[in-house]
């Protein structure tokens, strides 16, 4: 059972908690005053071409010009000063650098599909494993997709009828057409405002088994019901004054702040986050194996895997993650851990890639930020 709790901390901040079977698996802080530009689409004008940098600088009506790599352009041969183009924010600005944008990989996200108007391809989520279903979805989308356009088939498309995919695609195509018309007739720079973190999270979980939303204010209840209603979903939204106590939120959040996390078996893990990577160390601690060292090692490593998979989601850890497991002499036990990871990442909405064990018993993982 998947439930989402929405806590209104103050006028500006919401905190969102996602629970699976009563266990918190994701948590977010949403600052309503903090402007989020990721995914926005702008009409921009090329103001500077820097071939030495392999980039152009685009005026999108903000204080800093956006950085557009030439390899991210549709026409890479002759970028021209004062040329008008549509670009999408790929990376937020920092105090020292303007935002990074793309033209070629500009996309619109739907419920089941992601439309790429400037690319010609069809691909599918790696989480849809069955060959027959993968082939059915790819063939369905290829048949409906206009020439010289691309699409990614999302995990939520699994087992959906052809009519649902067609409707989603048509809505995205209509949206793209409206944006092009807006570009021609309007002087404004912002052509498309990406969905808020809150609405994207809610809509995504609606396709991942969401069964109930709990809020602590009438305003949030009304807002969420408006988001759910157009999707024809019968998901109850309940107002609960003592939500924090009922869901034991304070205690469940404590593990996020800890570097050292104890396991039920007596072992523990240590999580260290650096600029380059996340290092996780697995230790046997107080665990005593009843059937010998090999059994004890596997037991600790197995429990650690469950906890690490949970912490990756709770902390939204990203990039390169290196896990230093307790040395396993048995290749069979290593394979069991790898198979366990394959099961656990199916629950993760982010893209996670698991690699083989190294000779030093290190397991390497990559994870994208949600």
Burial of 278 (0-12, 13-18, 19+ CB in 10 A): buried
Separation CA 201–CA 28 (nearest Å): 10
CA distances from 31 to 8, 16, 63, 198 (A): 11, 11, 22, 10
CATH number at residue 220: 3.30.420.40
Check whether residue 358 and residue 282 sit in a common domain.
Answer: yes
Nearest to 175 by CA among 163, 183, 186: 183
- Judged against a pLDDT cut of 70, whether residue 35 lies above it is answered with no
Check whether residue 166 and residue 139 sit in a common domain.
Answer: yes
Check whether residue 268 and residue 352 sit in a common domain.
Answer: yes
Q: Report the mean per-residue pLDDT for the chain.
A: 90
Give the number of domains in the chain.
Answer: 4
CATH number at residue 85: 2.40.50.140
- Percent of the chain at pLDDT exceeding 90: 64
- Three-state DSSP at 25 gives strand
Phi, psi angles (nearest 5°) of residue 6: -120, 115
CA distances from 337 to 173, 291, 329, 342 (A): 43, 19, 13, 9
Residues contacting residue 128 through CB under 8 Å, at least 6 positions apart: 134, 137, 153, 155, 157, 158
Check whether residue 183 and residue 162 sit in a common domain.
Answer: yes
Residues contacting residue 271 through CB under 8 Å, at least 6 positions apart: 259, 261, 278, 279, 280, 311, 315
- pLDDT tens, residue by residue, 39-98: 999 999 999 999 889 999 999 998 889 999 999 999 888 888 999 999 999 988 877 778
Among 102, 118, 136, which residue terminates a domain?
102
Q: Residue 141: which domain range?
A: 108-192
- pLDDT tens, residue by residue, 159-197: 999 999 999 999 999 999 999 999 988 889 999 998 877
Check whether residue 272 and residue 354 sit in a common domain.
Answer: yes
pLDDT score recorded for residue 232: 61
């Amino acid at each position: 059972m998947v439930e989402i709790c929405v806590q209104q901390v103050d006028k500006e901040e919401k905190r969102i908690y996602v629970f699976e079977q009563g266990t918190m698996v994701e948590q977010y802080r949403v600052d309503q005053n903090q402007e989020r530009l990721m995914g926005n689409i702008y009409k921009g004008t090329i103001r500077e071409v820097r071939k030495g940098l392999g980039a152009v600088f685009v005026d999108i009506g903000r204080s800093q010009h956006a950085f557009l790599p030439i390899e991210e352009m549709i026409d890479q041969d002759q970028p021209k000063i004062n040329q008008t183009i549509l670009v999408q924010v790929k990376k937020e600005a920092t105090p020292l650098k303007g935002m990074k944008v793309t033209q070629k990989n500009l996309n619109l996200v739907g419920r089941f599909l992601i439309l790429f108007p400037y690319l010609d391809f069809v691909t599918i989520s790696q989480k849809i494993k069955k060959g027959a279903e993968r082939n059915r979805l790819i063939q369905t989308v290829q048949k409906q997709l206009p020439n010289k356009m691309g699409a990614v088939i999302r995990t939520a498309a699994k087992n959906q009828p052809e009519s649902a995919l067609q409707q989603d695609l048509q809505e995205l195509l209509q949206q793209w057409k409206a944006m092009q018309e807006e570009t021609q007739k309007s002087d404004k720079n912002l052509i498309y405002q990406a969905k808020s973190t809150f609405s994207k999270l809610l809509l995504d979980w609606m396709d991942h088994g969401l069964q109930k939303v709990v809020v602590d204010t009438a305003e949030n209840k009304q807002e969420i019901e408006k988001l759910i209603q157009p999707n024809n979903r019968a998901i109850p939204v309940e107002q609960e004054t003592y939500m924090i106590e009922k869901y034991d939120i304070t205690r469940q959040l404590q593990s996020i702040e800890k570097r050292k996390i104890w396991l039920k078996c007596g072992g523990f893990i240590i999580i260290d986050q650096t600029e380059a990577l996340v290092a996780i160390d697995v230790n046997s601690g107080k665990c005593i194996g009843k059937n010998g060292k090999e059994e004890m090692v596997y037991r600790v490593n197995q429990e650690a895997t469950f906890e690490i998979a949970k912490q990756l989601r709770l902390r939204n850890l990203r990039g390169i993650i290196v896990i230093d497991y307790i040395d396993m002499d048995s290749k069979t036990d290593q394979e069991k851990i790898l198979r366990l990871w394959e099961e656990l990442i199916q629950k993760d909405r982010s893209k996670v890639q698991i690699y083989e064990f190294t000779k030093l018993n290190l397991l390497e993982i990559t994870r994208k930020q949600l």
